[in-house]
Amino acid sequence: MAPPTPTQHSLEAPGSSPTAEAFDATISAPEQGKSLFYVVTRGGTPDAAVLSVGGVIAARLATPNAALALAPLAAHAALRERPDIALAGPVTIDAERFQRFTSVIGGTAPRR
């Protein structure tokens, strides 16, 4: 069975996705006033959209149009209103699972 496309994800349960469910993930960002978001564009990378709302890419995913981003809490609404964004939702995961996740997907963890 093929994984769902970004448009098949439900926006009714923010932070919910097949990936999150597969890892039994609960993500929390330790930085005050920031949150982790799953961002999927309609084409291209999400870098410009994330930067435009004051965020940074936290992890690149296997598909170039998807990433986890650390951004101000208020960025959620701004990301969802952008026409180039197909999906933007909050994610929660602990550090251990985040490391496992990035090693499984072949992504890169954030650099500090």
pLDDT at 47: 96
pLDDT at 41: 96
Output the pTM of the full model. 0.61
pLDDT at 106: 63
- Counting as low any pLDDT under 50, the low residues of the chain are 1-15, 28-31, 111-112
CATH numbers and ranges of domains, the chain: 12-105 (3.30.70.80)
3-state secondary structure the chain: CCCCCHHHCCCCCCCCCHHHHHCCCCECCCCCCEEEEEEEECCCCCHHHHHHCCCEEEEECCCCCEEEEEEECCHHHHHHHCCCEEEEEEECECHHHHHHHHHHHCCCCCCC
Q: Summarize pLDDT for 25-53 with one digit per residue, the tens.
A: 655 444 457 888 999 999 999 999 999 99
pLDDT at 93: 78
pLDDT at 18: 65
